[in-house]
């Protein structure tokens, strides 16, 4: 399977990237790609007429992916602009984008006891509007993330087991759709 891993953060100590790296290790028999969403231009209708190469590349990666795993922090009760921007680009044309019917699973992380629940709800709302096929599962929220990730690596055994269970379930979800 070909899986696209989308991160909501790209700073040097990104917990989302660390979590996606752990997931990538679980997917050793599959192809994965983690595009650098932080290099994309901000969505603009003028640019949308003649899409920049970086956007065409992202949309091509989405088109060829069997499924998408999103991992994001929660910023101010929502999702980071870098993720929202990428989803805005990829959601065009409306109701017939490369994200339509694409299997998607969502993981949020935060230090707060809420664990990114509001970001989880916002990503679901966006993906539903885009007409993606949202993985129905127990919500995967990782909290407190600072106690789970050490030096860029997920070290907590319970969290690793949850990630393995969630990822395996998502792969089965994709398989059932084929």
Q: Do residues 22 and 142 lie in contact, with contact meaning Cβ atoms separated by under 8 Å? A: no
CATH number of the domain enclosing 9: 3.40.50.360
Given this model, what pLDDT does residue 138 score?
83
d(CA 164, CA 41): 33
d(CA 143, CA 138): 15
Q: In this structure, what DSSP letter does residue 41 have?
A: P
For the chain, the domain total comes to: 1
Is the overall model pTM greater than 0.95, yes or no? yes
Top pLDDT among 138 and 158 is at: 158
Q: Is the pLDDT of residue 46 over 90?
A: yes
Q: Grade residue 174 by pLDDT with cuts at 50, 70 and 90.
A: very high
Q: Which domain holds residue 150?
A: 2-177
Q: In this structure, what DSSP letter does residue 78 have?
A: B
Helix ranges (H only) for the chain are 15-26, 45-49, 53-64, 81-90, 117-130, 157-177
Given this model, what pLDDT does residue 178 score?
84
Q: Is the pLDDT of residue 37 over 90?
A: yes
Q: Is the pLDDT of residue 115 over 90?
A: no
């Amino acid at each position: 399977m070909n899986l696209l891993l989308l991160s909501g953060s790209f700073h040097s100590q990104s917990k989302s990237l660390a979590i996606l790296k752990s997931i990538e290790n679980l997917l050793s028999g599959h192809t994965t790609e983690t595009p650098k969403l932080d290099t994309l231009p901000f969505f603009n209708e003028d640019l949308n007429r003649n899409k920049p190469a970086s956007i065409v590349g992202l949309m091509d990666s989405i088109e060829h992916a069997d499924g998408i795993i999103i991992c994001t922090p929660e910023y101010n009760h929502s999702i980071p602009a870098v993720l929202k921007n990428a989803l805005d680009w990829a959601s065009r044309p409306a109701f017939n984008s490369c994200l339509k019917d694409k299997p998607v699973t969502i993981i949020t992380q935060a230090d707060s006891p809420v664990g990114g629940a509001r970001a989880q709800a916002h990503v679901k709302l966006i993906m539903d509007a885009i007409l993606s096929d949202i993985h129905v599962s127990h919500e995967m929220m990782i909290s407190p993330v600072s106690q789970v990730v050490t030096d860029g690596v997920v070290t907590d055994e319970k969290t690793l087991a949850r990630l393995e269970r969630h990822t395996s379930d998502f792969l089965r979800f994709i398989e059932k759709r084929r």
